[in-house]
Amino acid sequence: MQFFNDMVTLFTRYNSFFLEGIRNTLIIAAFSVLIGTVLGTLMAMMRMSKIAPLRLFALGYIEFIRGTPLMVQLMFIFYGLPMIGVRFPDISFIPDFNRFAAGIVAMSINSCAYVAEIIRSGIQAVDTGQMEAARSIGYSQAQAMTYVVLPQAIRNILPALGNEFVVVIKESSIVSVIGIADLMFRTKDVIAVTYRTMASLAIVAIIYFCMTFLGSRLIAWMERRMAHGKG
């Protein structure tokens, strides 16, 4: 009971810390998934291309990113790029923009590789007759892919994309190592002030669960809507 009281007291007293962390975590996750989905779609197209250099580049990218730790990728983006003269700009009205940019870029690059495989599998799950039918009525291959195949593939891949968003929310905690004030970073601040480690971690665990659970329910609702032809 005392442990629960400590949690309530900590959240009441330091709710501004946790709320700031939630906001920054959701911003990073949303941008990472959005950019990762766009890039992942392009990478999936390259992966299935008949042009060998594009196909090999996409395959190498996907295998390399999926085969290396996100921590290494984040460190390379944040610390490695400035060493070769590539720097993220500082924007005065957005605090720590260069850190946020590095975190979003690293998370997007990582998400892109996984989304590309999700989209590729979804496209390949669509009956090949759909492409042939679209071509037979005068669509180009690009138009057939855009207007016929991809909309059907989205229905197949929506649960996997939703799961990717949930994964990104959880993995975004890694950006705290470069000083971004995400949920985990702010939780460490609370621990440093109060020395209530377990109570603080219990709070952050519940918050992460709530965010991922709500995200999963939203995706499930969208999936049901699409299944009934209302999406």
In this structure, are residues 82 and 185 in contact, taking their beta carbons and an 8 Å threshold? no
Query: What percentage of the chain exceeds 70 in pLDDT?
Result: 95
Mean pLDDT of the 159-165 span: 82
**pLDDT on residue 64:** 95
Of the candidates 202, 171, 200, the residue with the CA atom closest to the CA atom of residue 188: 200
Q: In the chain, what are the domain boundaries?
A: 2-227
Residue 162 token pair: 């939703």
User: pTM, whole model, 2 decimals?
Assistant: 0.82
| C-alpha pair distances (Å), 180 with each of 53, 64, 107 | 37, 26, 13
Q: Residue 231: is its pLDDT beyond 50? A: no
In this structure, are residues 203 and 63 in contact, taking their beta carbons and an 8 Å threshold? no
Between residues 156 and 65, the one the model is more confident about: 65
Neighbours of 17 (CB within 10 A): 21
pLDDT per residue as tens digits for the range 48-72: 888 899 999 999 999 999 999 999 9
Between CA 203 and CA 20 the distance in angstroms is 14
Buried b (16+ CB within 10 A) or exposed e, 135-174: eeeebeeeebbeebbbeebebbbbebbbbbbbbbbebbbb
Q: Lowest-pLDDT range, 9-23, 53-67, 71-85, 212-226?
A: 212-226
Mean pLDDT of the 20-36 span: 89
Of the candidates 154, 157, 152, 146, the residue with the CA atom closest to the CA atom of residue 118: 157
CATH class of 2-227: mainly alpha
What's 215's DSSP letter? H
Q: Residue 228: is its pLDDT beyond 80? A: no
Q: Lowest-pLDDT range, 1-15, 42-56, 60-74, 153-167?
A: 153-167
Q: Residue 38: is its pLDDT beyond 80? A: yes
